[in-house]
């Protein structure tokens, strides 16, 4: 930061300042936690000598608060990869099963939006295809906030729901599947070369809400990257130009993430898996009947309160995924 030319590159300087703030916050919080622990230790010895139970109980409460602060810092230490601090795109696709799976995809979308609101992150709908009767066939959301991709990067995979179907007049139990795929929103410091000859650009009418103009002009854009077969689409803007710009940004992010995953040789959801959303691939199961349980099949972490999980209280699952060493 003391370099004479540091402020000339605004994007690079912004990233450096953001990284510096992370380290400064970690160090400051660590030093503050050490000091508070020392103060509580001295106060506890004094209260014990005086047999003051009220003070001892108050110290225990302060210790619990201190543990939460330390845990938060510990999690931040796991969010130190190059892309962890970036915003993210989140795609949700319904599996086979028609209305059942489409409703489940809509429930997952709501869960992540609720989580985003609780974190005070910003979310924007990029593209969405409604189900024929209920729910969504697919949905793409952009979530903006501190370390969003770092938090959600392990959510990619198949999510399984077991419940008594509200769409079945016989009240039978159904199993539904939907896929989630998370990838980072890359910034301008990362150069991704995309050749025009490798692209197929299609325009079509938006099928969602958005007013008369959106629904009567070919403003929606779909771009296919032929070598990788990656497809991105956007329909939330009134302008075809803006939708194409958003699609290109999404494509760059997808290609970057694709290359990173190849290099790291990590097991992530692929386009083939997205076509085979079903048994044997699920990373997490949400069971509402005959018992109530949400279980992550990778970490074995469980919750017996699926209602809270579906209301966006998924931090415990996300934290366990971060702790898991690949």
Listing DSSP states for 207-275 in one string gives -SSS-HHHHHS--EEEEEETTTTEEEEE-SSS-HHHHHHHHHHHHHHHHHHHHHHHHHT-----HHHHH
At which of 48, 78, 108 does a domain end? 78
Residues 213 and 136 occupy one common structural domain:
yes
Q: Is 5 helix (H, G, I), strand (E, B) or coil?
A: coil
Percent of the chain past pLDDT 90, that is, above it, reads: 50
Residue 2, judged by CB atoms within 10 A of its CB (0-12, 13-18, 19+), counts as exposed
Number of domains comprising the chain = 2
Whether residue 133 has pLDDT greater than 80: yes
Q: Within a domain: residue 101?
A: yes
Q: Within a domain: residue 254?
A: yes
Residues 46 and 89 occupy one common structural domain:
no
Q: Which residues contact 278 (CB under 8 A, 6 or more apart)?
A: 95, 96, 158, 177
Average pLDDT, the chain: 85
How confident is the model at residue 268, as a pLDDT? 43
pLDDT grade for 25, boundaries at 50, 70 and 90: confident
Read off the pTM. Answer: 0.74
Asked if 114 contacts 107 with a C-beta cutoff of 8 angstroms, the reply is no
At which of 53, 78, 103 does a domain end? 78
User: What is the end-to-end Cα distance of the chain in Å, rounded?
Assistant: 34
How confident is the model at residue 189, as a pLDDT? 60
Residues 15 and 111 occupy one common structural domain:
no
Q: List, in sequence order, the alpha helices (H) in 167-239.
A: 212-216
Residue 237 belongs to domain spanning: 85-326
Residues 239 and 154 occupy one common structural domain:
yes
Residues 70 and 134 occupy one common structural domain:
no
């Amino acid at each position: 930061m003391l370099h004479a030319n540091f402020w000339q590159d605004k994007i690079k300087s912004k990233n450096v300042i953001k990284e510096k703030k992370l380290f400064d916050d970690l160090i400051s919080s660590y030093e503050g936690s050490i000091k508070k622990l020392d103060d509580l230790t001295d106060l506890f010895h004094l209260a014990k000598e005086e047999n003051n139970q009220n003070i001892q109980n108050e110290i225990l409460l302060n210790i619990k608060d201190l543990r939460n602060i330390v845990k938060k810092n510990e999690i931040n230490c796991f969010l130190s990869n190059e892309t962890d601090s970036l915003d993210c795109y989140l795609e949700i696709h319904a599996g086979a099963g028609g209305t059942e799976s489409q409703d489940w995809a809509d429930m997952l979308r709501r869960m992540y939006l609720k989580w985003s609101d609780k974190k005070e992150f910003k979310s924007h709908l990029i593209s969405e295809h409604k189900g024929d009767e209920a729910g969504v066939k697919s949905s793409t959301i952009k979530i903006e906030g501190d370390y969003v991709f770092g938090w959600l990067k392990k959510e990619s995979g198949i999510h399984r729901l077991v419940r008594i179907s509200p769409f079945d007049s016989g009240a039978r139990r159904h199993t539904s599947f939907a896929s989630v795929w998370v990838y980072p929103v890359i910034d301008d410091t990362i150069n991704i070369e995309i050749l025009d000859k490798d692209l197929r650009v299609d325009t079509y009418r938006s099928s969602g809400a958005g007013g008369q103009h959106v629904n009567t002009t070919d403003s929606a854009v779909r771009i296919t990257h032929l070598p990788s077969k990656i497809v991105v689409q956007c329909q939330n803007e009134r302008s075809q130009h803006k939708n194409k710009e958003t699609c290109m940004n999404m494509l760059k992010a997808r290609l970057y993430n694709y290359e990173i995953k190849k290099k790291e040789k990590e097991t992530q959801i692929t386009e083939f898996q997205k076509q085979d959303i079903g048994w044997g691939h699920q990373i997490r199961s949400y069971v509402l009947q005959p018992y109530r349980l949400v279980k992550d099949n990778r970490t074995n972490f469980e919750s017996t309160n699926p209602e809270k999980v579906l209301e966006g209280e998924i931090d415990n699952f996300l934290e366990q995924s971060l702790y898991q060493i690949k």
